[in-house]
Chains A and B, each alone.
Chain A
Amino acid sequence: QVQLVESGGGVVQPGGSLRLSCAASGFTFSSYGMHWVRQAPGKGLEWVAFIRYDGSNKYYADSVKGRFTISRDNSKNTLYLQMNSLRAEDTAVYYCAKGKGAAGLYYFDYWGQGTLVTVSS
């Protein structure tokens, strides 16, 4: 069955960096686009970033553009999110999600359980 397991969360000071990982199994990872979605405390879901199946294109929410970088290693079935210049408002549970769909229309058919990132001094 499809499994997505995030790791790498923790407490970091404002301006610091953190790298999240998402280990995927149960499907052909190299065939699917992957996303990061976050949920801040008491808030709703916010899409963060998307990377195509082969890493050829990457897309970001305006709130993280220039600070976060999404990447993947298809040989390791792993998705990454490098987060730099972290701010208090980046505090959230970060989920990786598998993309599904066609012709550029993608929803998220499987999600991980999330990893908590806390940005605080």
Chain B
Amino acid sequence: EIVMTQSPATLSVSPGERATLSCRAGQSVSINLAWYQYKPGQAPRLLIYGASTRATGIPARFSGSGSGTEFTLTISGLQSEDFAIYYCQQYSNWPPYTFGQGTKLEIK
């Protein structure tokens, strides 16, 4: 099983600023990495797949980078609706598909 580790657990950022979220895989997953946004009571939302490809309808302020074991999700010009929990997930080596423990992005 590939262990995914996200940091930080909580990130406090002011609206309009940039947020940088990290995800590390316990072994190489190539670019088979996705990012999801989660708000309690709502369906999780796919943001990024293939480490850097934005999903349909995702604003350009969301960007992903990385390969192998180190990945980053960057959100530029934070808007109020972006404050949520973000999960990374590897789909390179399954079963099982594995998620990071999440980063909570909160308003500073």
Contact = CB atoms under 8 A, between A and B. Distances in A.
B91 A101 contact: yes
Contacts of B98: 47
Contacts of A35: 97
A35 B94 CA distance: 13
Interface residues of B, number: 25
B107 to A, nearest CB: 21
Contacts of A62: 96
Dominant SS at the B interface?
Answer: loop
User: 10 nearest interchain CB pairs?
Assistant: A47-B97, A107-B34, A111-B43, A45-B99, A59-B95, A111-B44, A44-B101, A107-B49, A113-B43, A44-B102
A109 B89 CA distance: 12
21 contacts: A35-B97, A44-B87, A44-B99, A45-B89, A47-B97, A50-B94, A50-B97, A59-B95, A61-B95, A95-B44, A97-B44, A101-B91, A107-B49, A108-B36, A108-B44, A109-B49, A111-B44, A111-B45, A113-B42, A113-B43, A114-B43
A93 B38 CA distance: 13
Interface in B3-53: 32, 34, 36, 38, 41-46, 49
A27 interface: no
Interface string B54-93: 0100000000000000000000000000000001010110
